[in-house]
Amino acid sequence: MLTGFNVAILGGDARQIEMVRKLNEWDATLHLVGFDKLDYGFTGANHIDMDDEVIEKLDAVILPVPGTDAAGNIESIFSNQQITLEKEWVERTPSHCLFFTGITNDYLTSMIHQANRKLIPLFSRDDVAIYNSVPTVEGTIMMVIQNTDFTIHSSRVYILGLGRVGMSVARAFHGLGAKVFVGIRRSEHYARVMEMGLTPFYLNELEQVSGNCDVLINTIPAEIVTAAVIQKMPGHTFVLDLASKPGGTDFRYAEKRGIKAVLAPGLPGIVAPKTAGKILANVVLQVLKESTGKDEHE
């Protein structure tokens, strides 16, 4: 149980709702910022402002999956108020306070470090990435079906990257009868793709093979689906970029060429926010339970 733990949740989307529910079940004392437009409330949860004195008693702060922007601003779909996370605010929290985010950026990482607090980017954890691969795969299949006029079965699907998401996506499309090609950089990944019964190719060959592509799914957060690659694609090719913003695709040139290309870095939160929220909540709970506890900090 998290009885006596003070947890602030700052902004976010439907995933945060599931986190509120889960933390409430575990008896944490919750303080919400940026939820004033919710149609319903949560018993035992307090709606506060960023200048509330409870900040000085917090054991954890949960940010939305995107964290902040480069100026410290936090998005919330449940409020029109401006929420900004600044170093002075962070320094008002107790020294043991943990800060959770989905992903981080230079501003957030630097600020939390300067304030000598601990930042936990949840999407950098293997357990979160593996759990999230399930709704990501389902969302990927949904988007491919919605944006193409041919079956996945027998289509030529090129997947870039054999990380946790790439591997799960490759297996799923193979199971649906697609001809799956996986772009990799390392020889051990080449061997793994072969072992999976798929066709590997090295990423430096992408421009040469893209002319054979019906669907291209990118998981690599680097500029890789360039204009030269897109120029060789058939006109019916659908490009789905799952990498974090700004993705790895030249979307400007794709539009100019008439190639449909979509950036979708947060599919779990789009297609299955309830499940995605539970995944994050369970990991946050695990981390909080593993922490030394409030009494030992005081």
Q: What is the mean pLDDT of residues 122-145?
A: 92
> Is residue 178 pLDDT above 80, yes or no?
yes
Query: Distance (Å, rounded) from C-alpha 96 to C-alpha 86?
Result: 18
Average pLDDT over residues 126-140: 91
Name the pLDDT band for 39 (thresholds 50, 70, 90). Answer: low
Give Cα 234 to chain centroid, integer Å.
30
Omega cis (within 30) before 66 = no
Least confident of 10-14, 157-161, 166-170, 207-211: 10-14
Taking Cα atoms as reference points, which of 133, 139, 88, 134 lies closest to residue 115?
A: 88
pLDDT tens-place string over residues 53-85: 999 999 999 999 989 999 999 999 999 889 999
Higher pLDDT, 20 or 38: 20
- Please, what are the domains in the chain? 6-124+272-297 (3.40.50.720), 128-265 (3.40.50.720)
Give the Cα separation of 211 and 278 in Å (integer).
41
- The H or E element spanning position 90 is helix 87-92
Query: Is residue 12 scored above 50 in pLDDT?
Result: yes
